[in-house]
Structure 1
Amino acid sequence: MEGSLGLTLRGIAYAQIGDLELARTSLERAISLTDEPLTRARARAALVEIALSTGDPLLAARAAKESVDELARLGDARNAAMQRLVLARAEVLLGRLGEARRVVEDVMATALAPDLHASALLAQAEICIRAIATSDARDALSRARRALEGAPNHLLARALVALEQELSRPVARMLRGGVLHDADLFAIEEVSRGGFLLVDACRRLVMGGQLKRPLARRPVLFALLLVLGRAWPASVPRDELVARAFDVRRVNASHRARLRVEIGRLRKVMAGLAAEPIATPDGYTLSSTREVAVLLPPSDDEVARVALLLGDGASWSAQGLAEHAGVSKRTAQRALGALVASGGAIRTGNGKGVRYTRPGTPIASRMLLLGLVPQT
């Protein structure tokens, strides 16, 4: 029978090539076959990261903290640092970028081997991407590449190249000045710096200056804002606004009355953004002191809209995706089914615990688990 160390290494190898189910099975067997504390701790650390790739990031964050303490107590400083980067990844997926940044900075403040330093910089790059600081992400990736010059690591180098390529790959469409064109992360960074009012139909929010207003849970208000943003600076007739925001074919007086109420609510939501919907003789226009830019999914197809959200590497429920994509839960489930069938998404869990993720996301186990391989 294969020993616990062999099973641990096999589990790590499976994780590195993306077969997380076989990885989990091998690692769990390794734990059951040994009482050696360090081997068990390393196998558990690997399981933590696999859990992060396929489950709840909040639970994974708690498990990562426990794993950090266990590895540090056993004197495995290298893998304790690796687990701190797993914790940082969990914080990113939870949207706690400040906490993720602090964790990575703490890791980088210690003496690190070249591959671990590069891994920390890769984590830093993803945090920058989430903060829409694409130029800073590119700089972090360049520093990571330099860190590996004296100690090549081909698997990690491929991860750096893959993320660097994503920076300049078109991920959405941008409407500016009446012209629609493809937009990469650098273009999105440009319009997010504060000089524009950004109506973001990918994440369903509006940004202006340093302020951000999420509207994923207020679909009618966002629908109104999106119609006004796409028409800016022109006015949109009232009946057209009603038909597109309320999804009705025949507009009546009650719809027009509701429109006035919803416009008032939208005006309150946008307070402080130096922009608001104002009435015109025939309808409403979006008045803004900044140029208005509208960020749109790469296509109007529901599958593309859902795939774009999965691209952040988080583990999503169908309901959560439906809310953020602005579609019904049934539509989201249909799109997710198509993505799973094509290999564009992974489905995990059962019942209410079903979650969906994109395969091969940055800072996944195939990169960080390198630290768990014994050094020779």
Structure 2
Amino acid sequence: MDALITAAAQALAAGDPLGAMTRVALREDAPALALRGLAMAQLGDFPRATLLLRRAARAFGPREATARARCVVAEAEIALASRELEGSTRKLDAARATLDAHGDHANAAHARYLGIRRLLLLGRLDETERALAAATGAPLPPALLAVHELVVAGVAMRRLRAAAAHAALERAARAAQQTGIPALMAEVDAATHTLHAPAARWLASGEERLLPLRDVEALLASDTFVVDACRHAVRQRGKTVPLASRPVLFALMRQLAEAWPHDVPRDVLVARAFRARHADESYRARLRVELGRLRRALGELAEVRATGRGFALLPRRADRVGVLAWPVESAHAAVLALLGDGESWSSSALALALGRSQRSVQRALETLAAAGSAQCSGQGRARRWMTPLAPGFATTLLLPAPLSFD
């Protein structure tokens, strides 16, 4: 390897893509193409970076399997950064095996963590934890150690374990500081900001306040009767009553919880649950049926009792009742939560991460764009979506299934 290639590689490792480009910008040999691709990726031009890396992989000879595998890993990293989450990981797995077989264990570990981070973005927390456990043991260089701790923190935040997330981010910050790579340090800072940002809104007794993650964790561990509007469930000290598949029951439950300790008039419950303007006798009969179903669903957690003008919630073992809601409620809050990470997403990647159809996500994006809450760039398959400004809320931590802590 000549001196210019070595110097360019060192510049990239130190997070200096412009320094690398000045050394190899005019060269067309395979190593230079690969380094130019990496530099363009660090500068944010992902399509150009992918093209250069594919050219480099074709230019490397048949005896340079390690170099080709490194190009595949670099392309997978670009796909992760640009939120291209669909498709198979077989090429990445094959590249990792090639690197391991040829003794390039550092880049093989990097490939492994790309796969783990993809699992985290898709909300597959159990798979992410198993992959982390399998990767633990071998010593890691500071950059990969920082990535490892970022993933550990990401899982802990989605599991609502604030203390564990905080400890992992402190370890990530120390490792990132050792590398001196600005982009890595900025990623750790962004994750730390997310941890301390408001994660939910607490509505109780006519008042509301924003809660950071640690307060949400403490609330769910307490005796408080919580109606979780983020995941459509009722929670109290480890017990959960899921109502995500029963929207009428959840609408009634939320209305009763917001009014607690007072009752709710029948007309208000009918309007909230059935979206009816007038509560005639048929709607009142249906309301009684649905409230009976709600009583059976709640079991020993609470009773719904009739009053002179309506119904009231009576928790059996709690002296506090409230609703845990999104910081900013929207019909498309889950889509906004993912867009809030500051990266650009394709509609197919959003659909994959949310477990929904791509068409429903596209309709949500179009609605958000019309309201000025989202914007897009590119056309066709190259179209990417993002929020105009970071929302300032850690809504990703409270996404419904599949990003659930259950």
Normalised by the shorter chain, which TM-score bucket?
0.7 to 0.9
The one of 65, 69, 74 equivalent to 1:46 is 74
Superposition pairs for residues 100-139 of structure 1, below 5 Å?
100-139=128-167
The one of 229, 233, 246 equivalent to 1:201 is 229
**Distance between the aligned counterparts of 1:133 and 1:348, measured in 2?**
40
For the pair 1:333 / 2:362, whether they are aligned, the reply is no
For the pair 1:231 / 2:265, whether they are aligned, the reply is no
- For 2:321, the equivalent position in structure 1 comes to 292
Letter in 2 for 1:294: V
Query: What do the CA deviations read for 1:219-268 (whole angstroms, capped 9, x no partner)?
Result: 32322222122122322122211101222212222222222333334344
Contact 2:335 2:361 in 1 (8 A): no
* Structure 1 residue 137 displacement after superposition: 0.6
For the pair 1:249 / 2:267, whether they are aligned, the reply is no
Structure number with the bigger relative contact order (C-alpha 8 A, sep ≥ 6) is: 1
* Structure 1 pair 18–104 and aligned structure 2 pair: CA distance change class (3 A): farther
* Structure 1 residue 152 displacement after superposition: 3.1
* Structure 1 pair 91–286 and aligned structure 2 pair: CA distance change class (3 A): farther
**Distance between the aligned counterparts of 2:229 and 2:309, measured in 1?**
26
- For 2:103, the equivalent position in structure 1 comes to 75
- For 1:365, the equivalent position in structure 2 comes to none
**Distance between the aligned counterparts of 2:336 and 2:241, measured in 1?**
23
Contact 1:317 1:355 in 2 (8 A): no
* Structure 1 residue 118 displacement after superposition: 1.6
Letter in 2 for 1:307: L
> SS at the partner of 2:227?
strand
* Structure 1 pair 285–320 and aligned structure 2 pair: CA distance change class (3 A): farther
- For 2:60, the equivalent position in structure 1 comes to 34
| TM-score, length basis structure 2 | 0.73
* Structure 1 pair 258–126 and aligned structure 2 pair: CA distance change class (3 A): same
Letter in 1 for 2:103: G
* Structure 1 residue 63 displacement after superposition: 5.3
Q: Where does structure 1 lack aligned partners over 5 or more consecutive residues?
A: 361-376
- What RMSD in Å do the two structures reach over aligned CA positions? 3.6
Percent of counterpart pairs with the same letter? 36
Query: What do the CA deviations read for 1:316-351 (whole angstroms, capped 9, x no partner)?
Result: 23995999xxx998555311553442x6xx78965x
* Structure 1 pair 61–286 and aligned structure 2 pair: CA distance change class (3 A): farther
- For 2:119, the equivalent position in structure 1 comes to 91
Contact 1:306 1:321 in 2 (8 A): no
Equivalenced residues, count: 351
**Distance between the aligned counterparts of 2:362 and 2:281, measured in 1?**
30
**Distance between the aligned counterparts of 1:205 and 1:181, measured in 2?**
20
**Which of structures 1 and 2 has the bigger CA Rg?**
2
Query: What do the CA deviations read for 1:34-61 (whole angstroms, capped 9, x no partner)?
Result: 3431222122123333334556746455
- For 2:403, the equivalent position in structure 1 comes to none
The one of 178, 198, 203 equivalent to 1:175 is 203
- For 2:350, the equivalent position in structure 1 comes to 316
Contact 1:236 1:283 in 2 (8 A): yes
